[in-house]
Amino acid sequence: MRYQICKKDVIRLVGIKTRLTEEHEKNMVKIPLFWKQTIETAQFRQICGLAEQEPYGVLGVSAYFDPQHIFYYIAAATGQPVPQGLEELYLPAATWCVAAKSPFRSTTFANLFRDFYFEYLPSTGMAYAALPDIEVYPPEGRGTETSIREAWFAVKQADR
pLDDT in tens, 14-56: 999 999 999 989 999 999 999 999 998 999 999 999 999 999 9
pLDDT tens profile 49-72: 999 999 999 999 999 999 999 999
Q: Binning pLDDT at 50, 70 and 90, where does residue 103 land? A: low
Residue 120: other Cβ atoms inside 10 A: 17
- In 3D space, the residue among 70, 92, 88, 71 whose CA is nearest the CA of residue 79 turns out to be 88
Q: What is the pTM of this model?
A: 0.89
